[in-house]
Amino acid sequence: MKHRPKCCRAASWIAAGAIVLCFGLSLSFYLPFPQSRLRPGPVISMRLLDRNGVLLREVLSSREGRCSWVDLSSVSPTLLKVTVAAEDRHFFTHPGVNPAAVLRAFFQNVTSGRIVSGASTISQQLVRNLVHGRRTIPSKILEAWNALRIEKKLTKQDILVQYLNRISYGNQAFGISAAARLYFDKKAGDLSLAESAFLAGLPRSPSALNPFRNEAGAVSRQREILHRTARLGWITAEELDRALMEPLGLSSSRDTFKAPHFCDSILQAIDTSRWTSISEIHTTLNFALQSRIERLTDNHLAMLEEKNITNAAIVVLDNRTAEVRVLIGSRNFFDDRINGQVNGALSLRQPGSTLKPFTYGLALDSGLTAASLLLDDEIQFQTPTGGYIPRNYDRKFHGLVRIRTALACSYNVPAVSVIEHIGLERLYLFLHSAGFTSLSRGPEHYGVGLTLGNGEVSLLELAQAYSALARGGNFAPVQTILSLWDPFQNALPLSPAPARKTILSPQAAYLLTHILSDNDARIPAFGYHSPLHLPFPCAAKTGTSKDYRDNWTVGYTKRYTVGVWVGNFDASPMHNVPGITGCGPLFRDIMLLLHRESPADSFSRPNGLTTASVCPVSGNLTTDGCPGSMEEIFIQGTEPADFCRTHTLSEQKIITAGMNSTSLERSVSPRIRFPVHGDIFKLDPVLRKDYQALVFRALIPEPLRGYPVEWWINGQKIGETLSSASAPWKLEPGSYSLQVRIPAGEKYITSRTVHFTVLS
């Protein structure tokens, strides 16, 4: 038996191994390249656009770059030519690697012991972009192998799509779409030949050829690519000459950060797990309008600086859709001195009187009318923390007033009195249904001060609720997003908008609108020429929080709702600035801007309303004895049925008038202002008793002035004054009941009895 030499056996094993290796490598080319690496998600940035396509912000991808995915149909054809000419002129003929170039580079790299020559095709560059490996000789071999695999999986067009959307063009721009926007403020499909060649030269060395630092180097590379493309016959001589002569205008805008507070609120509302699947967010904002209102705001704040007012926030809603058109969170997002990054549109602050309309709206839906009489007087209301006496801004009380006047002039005592009629818990639940979810501490926590703004709400919540009044009592949550799009421009599903709901009857909402747009009704408090007096129908309400820390004006036309806040984010008080003069003028200018081209339409009057002529004093139907008459609107079934008898007291007849009474005696009866029921006084042991006295005070309604005023203690008349609302009384220890009586004909009009005690 012959034995083959050992060298022959070794050669056989080597040959067999080589065959197996070649076979294995051949098979490996057909192994699928991981599909997950080809997905665009991780490299895609997220773009926020306004309703007209204006870019507001671009959120960087996980690679800290900007990238928007485009297909070849959205890319300039000349860009494809110059890119292939610049990077891989044999792209359409090789299998993923260029054998001749590989041999040349292999020899140079082996002899040098390191990478000194590339020879990378477009396919290999794509692999390098997908795998992010180190540049070593083994990694180059693996890169070539993966390039062959990719060529088996993708078409040449698909490879170009992946390459053009992933390659770096410098300055955090990944992909041709981001590069075209960054450097030329254009879409990739609108690039000229010169611009295309300029961009095609950047991927070779994005840092060294950074156009913002080395424009000359980038232009030199562009010209080299243009000449190479012409030599390949892919462009004509004429096209070459025109491209070489074309001036390049680089965009000066390197970053976009518009409407920052609005964009922040959008991003906070979207689950971060969805970010990689979202390429574009089309929002409801109108940035052109926002820019104009930002300038208005800055001008107004410049005039208010001496009043210690540093900041403002504005919200504008489209009442038809409940979409946010403008959201300004501060005067300057980048000014740390005024805490500019705080979003004043979403911050919770005390709203002052801006919640009063909702209190009255409930009352109007509960049987009261715009002509119902309420008492504006020094009244102590019981709250969980003790007695509470509301005061008016003008430091005065105005006696019996109609609801129209009480709301239009923003008197405080009548608004608190209405809560006793509708109920505190009912008001609290109603405000929640109107979107004030920030009022979360229960009705007992706020007490009757809820209607005067002792809770905390946001400007956006206020605008949202007032917008419901503009829609006739129909509440709709505000909308900020129009559509979401994935990297391939497929629409993504939006969360369904909550259903609209009716929170007030259309009739009550219209009455509120009519009152809040009635300039004559607010004249006693604000004068005729107030900022709220606009040349078109506009309902508005102002508010001022305690110690002048917040100014508000919120109002609406048929089309728009506008909310304005001014103040300071550090909670420092303004210098005695009420809402009417603080943010009222800015509110007015915004409304004028919104309706510059077409005046606001009149509010639509719903069915179920009727009109009657009433006495401005009693609120009942007018007679010849009334000092005048006024037309008032009523929900059908609530209009007065009786004629005014306030001005015919001598007839001693009973009438219906007022919220808490069914007779003239109650509606126009005097009211003791001091002492308050339950008061306890103590004699001073040091002072002589002769020097210790009380001065009783009472409110005498207008119809009773001129009659004698009798003062009765413990059933005994102690004195009489003529038309005077005060009387002195020396202190004596004991328990007392005080009453005021006014003789009118054969009967007395009396006050409620007040009990008080004097201790020795």
The count of C-alpha atoms lying within 13 angstroms of the C-alpha of 164, restricted to the half-sphere facing its C-beta, is 29
The count of C-alpha atoms lying within 13 angstroms of the C-alpha of 242, restricted to the half-sphere facing its C-beta, is 8
pLDDT of residue 131: 80
Q: How many domains does the chain have?
A: 5
Residues 747 and 732 in one domain: yes
- Tens of pLDDT, residue by residue over 578-590, are 888 899 999 999 9
In a domain, 507, yes or no: no
pLDDT higher for 331 or 1?
331
pLDDT of residue 378: 79
CATH of residue 397's domain is 3.40.710.10
Q: Within 10 Å of residue 245's Cβ, how many Cβ atoms?
A: 8
What does the pLDDT average to over 649-663?
35
In a domain, 200, yes or no: yes
What does the pLDDT average to over 89-113?
75
Residues 659 and 682 in one domain: no
pLDDT of residue 425: 96
pLDDT of residue 655: 33
Residues 638 and 550 in one domain: no
The residue out of 646, 663, 680 marking a domain boundary is 663
pLDDT higher for 714 or 662?
714
Q: Identify the domain containing residue 747 by its residue range.
A: 669-759
What does the pLDDT average to over 264-276?
85
The residue out of 573, 595, 617 marking a domain boundary is 595
Please say if the pLDDT value at position 448 is more than 60: yes
Task: Grade residue 658 by pLDDT with cuts at 50, 70 and 90.
Answer: very low
Q: Within 10 Å of residue 139's Cβ, how many Cβ atoms?
A: 14
- Tens of pLDDT, residue by residue over 41-87, are 667 889 999 999 999 999 888 777 888 889 999 999 999 999 999 99
What integer best gives the mean pLDDT of the chain?
A: 87
pLDDT of residue 201: 96
Q: Give, in order, the Cα–Cα distances in Å from 594 to each of 49, 81, 231, 286, 551.
A: 21, 49, 58, 12, 21
The CA-to-CA distance between both ends of the chain, in Å, stands at 142
Q: Within 10 Å of residue 296's Cβ, how many Cβ atoms?
A: 19
pLDDT of residue 358: 98
In a domain, 11, yes or no: no
In a domain, 24, yes or no: no
pLDDT of residue 112: 60
Please say if the pLDDT value at position 502 is more than 70: yes
Residues 626 and 654 in one domain: yes
Which of 387-401, 438-452, 547-561 is the least confident region?
387-401
Q: Which two tokens stand for residue 61?
A: 């991808």
- Tens of pLDDT, residue by residue over 534-591, are 999 999 999 999 889 999 999 999 999 999 999 999 999 999 888 888 999 999 999 9
The residue out of 540, 570, 595 marking a domain boundary is 595
Name the nearest CA neighbour of 434 among 342, 351, 546: 351
Residues 691 and 622 in one domain: no
What does the pLDDT average to over 310-324?
98
Q: Using CA atoms, how far apart are residues 169 and 161, in angstroms rounded to an integer?
A: 15
Please say if the pLDDT value at position 23 is more than 50: no
pLDDT above 90 covers a percentage of the chain that reads 59
What does the pLDDT average to over 98-105?
73
Residues 721 and 737 in one domain: yes
In a domain, 513, yes or no: no
Q: What is the CA radius of gyration of the chain?
A: 40
Residues 681 and 744 in one domain: yes
CATH of residue 239's domain is 1.10.3810.10
Q: Using CA atoms, how far apart are residues 158 and 573, in angstroms rounded to an integer?
A: 63
What does the pLDDT average to over 490-512?
93
Q: Which two tokens stand for residue 51?
A: 């309703």
What does the pLDDT average to over 9-19?
56
Residues 311 and 204 in one domain: no
Which of 127-131, 289-293, 508-512 is the least confident region?
127-131
Name the nearest CA neighbour of 668 among 678, 682, 679, 654: 654
- The residue to which tokens 């923003």 are assigned: 410
Q: Using CA atoms, how far apart are residues 546 and 550, in angstroms rounded to an integer?
A: 8
The alpha carbon of residue 254 and the mean position of all alpha carbons in its chain are separated, in whole angstroms, by 27
Please say if the pLDDT value at position 255 is more than 80: no
In a domain, 50, yes or no: no
Q: Using CA atoms, how far apart are residues 197 and 226, in angstroms rounded to an integer?
A: 6
What does the pLDDT average to over 192-219?
95
Task: Grade residue 143 by pLDDT with cuts at 50, 70 and 90.
Answer: confident
What does the pLDDT average to over 656-677?
58
- Contact present, 124 and 86 (Cβ < 8 Å): no
Please say if the pLDDT value at position 649 is more than 60: no
What does the pLDDT average to over 375-391?
74
Q: Can you name the residues that pair with 492 across neighbouring β-strands?
A: 484
Q: Using CA atoms, how far apart are residues 603 and 511, in angstroms rounded to an integer?
A: 11
pLDDT of residue 32: 63
pTM score: 0.78
- Contact present, 499 and 476 (Cβ < 8 Å): no
Please say if the pLDDT value at position 732 is more than 80: yes
pLDDT higher for 384 or 571?
571
Please say if the pLDDT value at position 311 is more than 90: yes
pLDDT of residue 140: 77
pLDDT of residue 749: 86
In a domain, 506, yes or no: no
Please say if the pLDDT value at position 139 is more than 80: no
- Tens of pLDDT, residue by residue over 430-441, are 999 999 999 999
Residues 569 and 533 in one domain: yes
Name the nearest CA neighbour of 480 among 608, 261, 323: 323
| Residue 374 burial (C-beta neighbours within 10 Å; 0-12, 13-18, 19+) | buried
pLDDT of residue 665: 44
pLDDT higher for 230 or 759?
230
Please say if the pLDDT value at position 25 is more than 60: no
| Residue 64 burial (C-beta neighbours within 10 Å; 0-12, 13-18, 19+) | exposed
In a domain, 165, yes or no: yes
Please say if the pLDDT value at position 661 is more than 60: no
Name the strand (E) or helix (H) holding 242. helix 237-245
Residues 528 and 435 in one domain: no
pLDDT higher for 708 or 566?
566
Please say if the pLDDT value at position 241 is more than 90: yes
Q: Give, in order, the Cα–Cα distances in Å from 38 to each of 30, 42, 162.
A: 17, 10, 7
Residues 222 and 74 in one domain: yes
Residues 36 and 142 in one domain: yes
Which of 8-22, 546-560, 586-600 is the least confident region?
8-22
Edge-to-edge strands, sheet with 539-544: 323-328, 311-318, 560-567, 550-556, 539-544
pLDDT of residue 50: 97
Q: Which two tokens stand for residue 163?
A: 């390459």
Please say if the pLDDT value at position 660 is more than 60: no
**DSSP E strand boundaries for 187-321:** 280-283, 311-318
pLDDT of residue 258: 95
pLDDT higher for 28 or 323?
323
- Tens of pLDDT, residue by residue over 175-191, are 999 999 999 999 999 99
CATH of residue 696's domain is 2.60.40.10
- The residue to which tokens 């009420």 are assigned: 578
